[in-house]
Chains A and B, each alone.
Chain A
Amino acid sequence: MVLSHGGETGRPTGPVERRTAGRVPAPGFDEVSGTADQEPESAPDEASRAVDRPSGDSASRAAAARRAGRRAERVTGGAQELEQRLADLLRGGLAATDRPEYGLWEETAARMVDAQAPGLAHRLRELGSVSASGPGWPVRLLEECALLHLLDSAWLRLDRLPGPLAATVRTRVGLTASAEGPAVRDRWTVLAQYDTPDGRITTRRIWLYGEESGRTALLLSYGAPGRAPARTLPVGTVIDAEVTPYPGGGGLRAELGRQFGDPVVTAAPQHGGTTADALGAYGRALRDDPWLDAWPAILRDVIPAPSGDGWQLIGAADGSALPIAPPALSRPGLWKLVALSGGSPLTVFGECGHRGFDPLAAWCPEASDDIGAGTAVALV
């Protein structure tokens, strides 16, 4: 493992390719449910990091630096190629992608896997489904092409970006970093836990809210094919634990460190804001990470209400409304949310973004005199 080039060929890139190749394209772009979408491609590197980690002596450190340099070169080659392909696409017009025989996305995505830029490959595959996502697809396709262009041109100018933004770009492109602290000890409320299939691997997302720090943290874990991810934190409990953030991506993603004591059941969160607060937080987060699809938010005193073909969450105090994100409309959790509310205000946690609000957990209204009042109900 200390050989200068041997480590490169020995890197377990295999799982990356298998997993991304096996990924089922989402039926519409709107199906991308992740927020900090730097993963899932970063997952296998959890294993490879142990291999790559500099072991202290200068020879291995130099070898690691050489490997990193070589990888960066390959990614740069990939980014340049992607720039060229996007330019060709825009020159000829997006209308061409509407044809069934159009094959750019898969082929280019495979090139990005070769270039060890799984983040770019992932975005490209998502692009492949936008043309078939119904009315308004050219707008969505242009938006995503533009953000992809923004990402690869950011990579090509990485040395000119401020440190945190450079870290975000690295993660978005698909390079892994370590959680690098400092660790935050807090009483963390488990707001949501849900799994999404990523090809044969299952990605589990767990949202935490720190009572004292006021921080929201996203824990990611992965289940090998056919197995559920091992880590389980029951929604609605509180854990006293240390959490270490990863760089970039607005500092959402974190690693769970030491836990102190057992989880305890808690009441509904006392914090939370309005619909405007949620959208404002998403807007501010875009400054650090313009590729964010959504940002976590707790909404207080909102009422789910039908609106046209969809649903809204309406602020009881000001009548302001957020649409419920399209993927959530077909999930059974929507009806749990409506039933819990019964037309009265309740507290909802979810991901708020440009597609709307994706509710992930709700708390029965305290006034409902229910045995479950204040108990968290998972909606996914």
Chain B
Amino acid sequence: MPTTATTTGVPVDTPWEDLVTSALLGTDRRPLRAEDGAALGPAALLDAAAVHTVWRRAALRPATGAAPPEPAPADLRPPLPRAARRRLAQLLADRSVPPGGGRRGTAPDLTELIPQWLASAGARGYRAPAELLPALLDAARARTDLRPHVLAFAGPRGLWLAGLNPEWRFALRADARGARRPDTADPEAVRRLWEEGLFAERVALLGALRERDASAARSLLAATWSAERAEDRLMFLDSLRSGLSGADEAFLEDALTDRSRNVRATAAELLSALPGSALALRMADRAMSCVNPDRTGGAVSVAVEAPHECDAAMQRDGVVPVPPSGRGERSWWLGQLVEATPLDVWRDRFDGRTARELVTLPVADGWAGELHAAWCRAAVRQRDPAWARALLGTPATPPADGPGTASLAERSQLLATLPSAERALWVAGFIAAHGLSEAFQLLGVCSVPWDGPLGRAVVDALDIARDAGSYPWSFSGVMGLAERCLNPAEADRLAVLTTTPDEPEGASPGAGGYWSEAFQRLVSTLRLRAAMDAELADDGGAERHARNGTG
């Protein structure tokens, strides 16, 4: 600046604060002064402020930076193929668009495909694209069901990012399985984490070690067992469920005398799932004193004499003495004994009869329901497919007349013990015989994508429902399930159903059009899923093998 005053007379070295004060209070009350002391007006103030402002802006310099964050840990998983990356961005962008309300129209519901996409990408071992991590974390924040998949997929950089944004704190709390898997190959690291880790870290460690070396996990647990808190003991004990074997029996027997009732009950349940265990045999002894063949008259039937007391030994073996309200004590005890008894003992007890033959034997005095229900629970607990098959009976039999149980929840548990192809076939038969209205729960335990026969049964049933003239939204649950679970290869076969049929006599008005729309959506969803699978399969696998030699 060659002069010492602005054009209107304010000295250029007038402090900025003086200008602000004068401006705020007004030059009438707080005028600026020229060098000769004369009061200056607003134009002079604005001139001076303009010079200051441009000076200040032109003279800006960078500050000294704070400490940058620790870099995110490396993620060695291979990157997503480009097309899959674009697809994920599209799925996540669609998530933030609210649904159009009312009828769903023919367009696929992309939001419903996010979990499947994440599972598929996770199974292939891809790394999440960094720029999509914020959208992924936002999605997981809004939908708890997405969290396990998102956190595994987001990996170490996702956790790192969540640590910087309080809105994503859930990611740090969650038991991020897979994301922070402890290294179980280093015994020293394992011991240190077991002794010093947080509860969630210890549970994750125990689970991981159990998968790798079942007895090492048990030894680790046994070393500190008596010092653990009761609720922790319960969680730790639960980890023995995977890889359970006779080698765990001694430890579990000890746990039967635990201070905590819940721990005792869990130990007893685990032992009873080991058919050769001493507990299972003790329970078998008790059960056989209650359930016996009755050979009076020509045919064999089942005679039942429920226990008259629940003694201390029974309680020690996990039998809960007090029944829930509304149930008799004796039938409650009986149910627990039979449930914990190895199913094989009944074959010997009843002259070598198979499970299928046993469930058809008449049962005396109205005990059939109680006995069959207990057998169902035993089949589920002991994961015995032969008994599950017998108790399920043929799918065409109406549920009320079936051998085991009419409850769909219990039937789906029995189904879960069968190999997946057999499961699908059984549910297909059930749908063919009884339609879709009760099939929802059973479909839930079938593996995805649905096997051919099951898919065809569902589609045929939907076709029949359409012909019957009802509205498709009566079947929206199954329809939604079909969109996610049908094999994408079915799309071409389904395309013929997308035409609007003639309205049959007595049909709901306009139903045909809605059905056509629903089938169009189903077909386009299946095509989209096929495209998504192809994108995820694209070149990534080869790249991954080249990189680290693992699959």
Q: Which positions in A face B, CB cutoff 8 Å? A: 83, 86-95, 138-139, 141-143, 145-147, 149-150, 153, 274-276, 279, 282-284, 286-287, 290, 303, 305-307, 312, 314-316, 319-323, 332, 335-336, 338-340, 342-344, 353-354, 364, 368-372, 377
- Taking a contact as CB atoms closer than 8 A, the residue among B20, B42, B66 that contacts A306 in the complex is B66
B49 & A306 in contact (Cβ 8 Å cutoff)? no
B123 contacts the other chain (CB 8 A)? no
A87–chain B nearest beta-carbon distance, Å: 4
- Show 10 residue pairs from A and B whose CB-CB distance is below 8 angstroms, ordered by the A residue: A86-B42, A86-B46, A87-B42, A93-B29, A149-B47, A305-B69, A312-B63, A320-B65, A339-B134, A354-B60
Known A283-B58, A320-B62; contact A142-B20, beta-carbon cutoff 8 A = yes
B65 & A287 in contact (Cβ 8 Å cutoff)? no
- Taking a contact as CB atoms closer than 8 A, the residue among B58, B66, B68 that contacts A343 in the complex is B68
10 residue pairs, one from A and one from B, having the closest CB atoms: A93-B26, A90-B42, A321-B65, A314-B65, A343-B71, A146-B49, A320-B62, A335-B134, A342-B72, A371-B79
Extra contacts, 6 of them, besides A282-B58, A370-B130 (Cβ < 8 A), are A91-B41, A150-B46, A315-B62, A342-B157, A343-B68, A343-B70
A94 & B23 in contact (Cβ 8 Å cutoff)? yes
A305 to B53, CA, bound (A): 28
CB neighbours (8 Å) of B67 from chain A are 305
* Interface-located stretch among B80-88, B199-207, B441-449: B80-88
Q: How many of chain B's residues touch chain A, expressed as a range?
A: 35 or more
CB neighbours (8 Å) of B50 from chain A are 146-147, 149-150, 290
A145 to B52, CA, bound (A): 12
A312 & B65 in contact (Cβ 8 Å cutoff)? yes
B190 contacts the other chain (CB 8 A)? no
CB neighbours (8 Å) of B134 from chain A are 332, 335-336, 339
CB neighbours (8 Å) of A369 from chain B are 79
CB neighbours (8 Å) of B53 from chain A are 142-143, 146-147
- Taking a contact as CB atoms closer than 8 A, the residue among B25, B26, B46, B79 that contacts A370 in the complex is B79
Known A279-B62, A339-B157; contact A87-B41, beta-carbon cutoff 8 A = yes
CB neighbours (8 Å) of A323 from chain B are 63
- Taking a contact as CB atoms closer than 8 A, the residue among B45, B63, B65 that contacts A90 in the complex is B45
CB neighbours (8 Å) of B348 from chain A are none
Known A145-B49, A307-B66; contact A372-B85, beta-carbon cutoff 8 A = yes
A343 to B68, CA, bound (A): 7
B129 & A370 in contact (Cβ 8 Å cutoff)? yes
* Residue from B19, B23, B61, B63 having most chain A Cβ neighbours under 10 A: B23
A90 & B26 in contact (Cβ 8 Å cutoff)? yes
Which residues 162-192 of B sit at the A interface, judged by CB distance below 8 A? 164-165
A340 to B124, CA, bound (A): 22
B131 contacts the other chain (CB 8 A)? yes
B51–chain A nearest beta-carbon distance, Å: 8
A275 to B63, CA, bound (A): 9
* Residue from A312, A323, A364 having most chain B Cβ neighbours under 10 A: A312
B62 & A90 in contact (Cβ 8 Å cutoff)? no
* Residue from B20, B43, B131 having most chain A Cβ neighbours under 10 A: B131
* Residue from A95, A142, A305, A336 having most chain B Cβ neighbours under 10 A: A142
A142 & B130 in contact (Cβ 8 Å cutoff)? no
* Residue from B20, B53, B129, B134 having most chain A Cβ neighbours under 10 A: B53
B142 contacts the other chain (CB 8 A)? no
B80 & A371 in contact (Cβ 8 Å cutoff)? yes
CB neighbours (8 Å) of A290 from chain B are 50, 54
A347 to B203, CA, bound (A): 41
Known A276-B61, A319-B64, A335-B134; contact A92-B28, beta-carbon cutoff 8 A = yes
A344 to B75, CA, bound (A): 14
Known A146-B49, A147-B53, A314-B68; contact A279-B60, beta-carbon cutoff 8 A = yes
CB neighbours (8 Å) of B60 from chain A are 279, 282-283, 354
A321 & B62 in contact (Cβ 8 Å cutoff)? yes
B59 contacts the other chain (CB 8 A)? yes
Which B-chain residue is minimally distant from A87 (CB atoms)?
A: B42
A91 & B85 in contact (Cβ 8 Å cutoff)? no
Q: Mark B235-253, 1 if CB is under 8 A from A, else 0.
A: 0000000000000000000
CB neighbours (8 Å) of A90 from chain B are 23, 26-27, 42, 45-46
B441–chain A nearest beta-carbon distance, Å: 40
A142 & B57 in contact (Cβ 8 Å cutoff)? no
CB neighbours (8 Å) of A276 from chain B are 61-62
CB neighbours (8 Å) of B273 from chain A are none
B80–chain A nearest beta-carbon distance, Å: 7
B97 contacts the other chain (CB 8 A)? no
B133 contacts the other chain (CB 8 A)? yes
A275 to B62, CA, bound (A): 6
B28 & A321 in contact (Cβ 8 Å cutoff)? no
Which A-chain residue is minimally distant from B134 (CB atoms)?
A: A335
A88 to B123, CA, bound (A): 71
B264–chain A nearest beta-carbon distance, Å: 48
A303 & B129 in contact (Cβ 8 Å cutoff)? no
CB neighbours (8 Å) of A353 from chain B are 57
A6 to B70, CA, bound (A): 68
CB neighbours (8 Å) of A312 from chain B are 63, 65-66
- Taking a contact as CB atoms closer than 8 A, the residue among A142, A150, A320, A336 that contacts B19 in the complex is A142
B46 & A146 in contact (Cβ 8 Å cutoff)? yes
B24 contacts the other chain (CB 8 A)? yes
CB neighbours (8 Å) of A286 from chain B are 54, 57-58
A343 to B160, CA, bound (A): 9
B20 & A138 in contact (Cβ 8 Å cutoff)? yes
A368 & B66 in contact (Cβ 8 Å cutoff)? no
A287 & B62 in contact (Cβ 8 Å cutoff)? no
CB neighbours (8 Å) of A146 from chain B are 46-47, 49-50, 52-53
A267 to B160, CA, bound (A): 27
B376–chain A nearest beta-carbon distance, Å: 50
A78 to B277, CA, bound (A): 98
Q: Mark B272-304, 1 if CB is under 8 A from A, else 0.
A: 000000000000000000000000000000000
CB neighbours (8 Å) of B23 from chain A are 90, 93-94, 138, 141-142, 145
A287 to B57, CA, bound (A): 11
A338 to B64, CA, bound (A): 19
B193 contacts the other chain (CB 8 A)? no
B220 contacts the other chain (CB 8 A)? no
* Residue from A89, A287, A339, A368 having most chain B Cβ neighbours under 10 A: A339
- Taking a contact as CB atoms closer than 8 A, the residue among A95, A306, A315 that contacts B24 in the complex is A95
A354 & B57 in contact (Cβ 8 Å cutoff)? yes
Known A86-B46, A287-B58, A372-B131; contact A335-B24, beta-carbon cutoff 8 A = no
Which A-chain residue is minimally distant from B43 (CB atoms)?
A: A87
A94 to B24, CA, bound (A): 4
- Taking a contact as CB atoms closer than 8 A, the residue among A91, A139, A274, A332 that contacts B27 in the complex is A91
B29–chain A nearest beta-carbon distance, Å: 7
B161 contacts the other chain (CB 8 A)? yes
Which B-chain residue is minimally distant from A340 (CB atoms)?
A: B130
CB neighbours (8 Å) of B29 from chain A are 93
CB neighbours (8 Å) of A343 from chain B are 68-72, 160
CB neighbours (8 Å) of A335 from chain B are 133-134, 161, 165
A124–chain B nearest beta-carbon distance, Å: 15
Q: Mark B12-56, 1 if CB is under 8 A from A, else 0.
A: 000000011001111111000000000001110111011011101
A344 & B46 in contact (Cβ 8 Å cutoff)? no
Which A-chain residue is minimally distant from B31 (CB atoms)?
A: A91
